[in-house]
């Protein structure tokens, strides 16, 4: 896996290894994630520099997905 060139921000859809997730918060440099549909538990990204941004929040809004 390569490092992403775009740092994820809150609301972005990312890949955390093999899991799709949404960035819910960034606290003290820790990126917090949750499953993309329906809420549920959050977890800290173990390697935030290796998160791959699939779609930004702005792209999801433009596509009508939010």
Q: What is the pLDDT of residues 35-58, one digit of tens each?
A: 988 778 999 998 988 999 999 999
Q: Confirm whether 24 is domain-assigned.
A: yes
Residue matched to tokens 């949750």: 34
Q: Is the per-residue pLDDT at 1 higher than 70?
A: no
Closest CA to 33 of 23, 47, 20: 23
Q: Is the per-residue pLDDT at 4 higher than 50?
A: no
Domain count for the chain: 1
As a whole number, mean pLDDT of residues 2-11 equals 74
Q: Confirm whether 7 is domain-assigned.
A: no
Q: How far is CA 22 from the centre of its chain?
A: 4
Q: Which domain holds residue 51?
A: 13-57
Say which residue, 29 or 26, is predicted with more confidence.
26
* pTM for this entry: 0.84
Q: Confirm whether 36 is domain-assigned.
A: yes
Token pair recorded at residue 31:
């990126």
């Amino acid at each position: 896996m390569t490092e992403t060139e775009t740092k994820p921000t809150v609301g972005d859809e990312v890949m955390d290894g093999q899991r799709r997730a949404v960035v819910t918060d960034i606290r003290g440099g820790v990126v917090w994630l949750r499953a993309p549909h329906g809420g549920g538990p959050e977890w800290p990204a173990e390697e935030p520099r290796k998160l791959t941004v699939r779609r930004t929040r702005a792209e999801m809004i433009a596509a009508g997905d939010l």
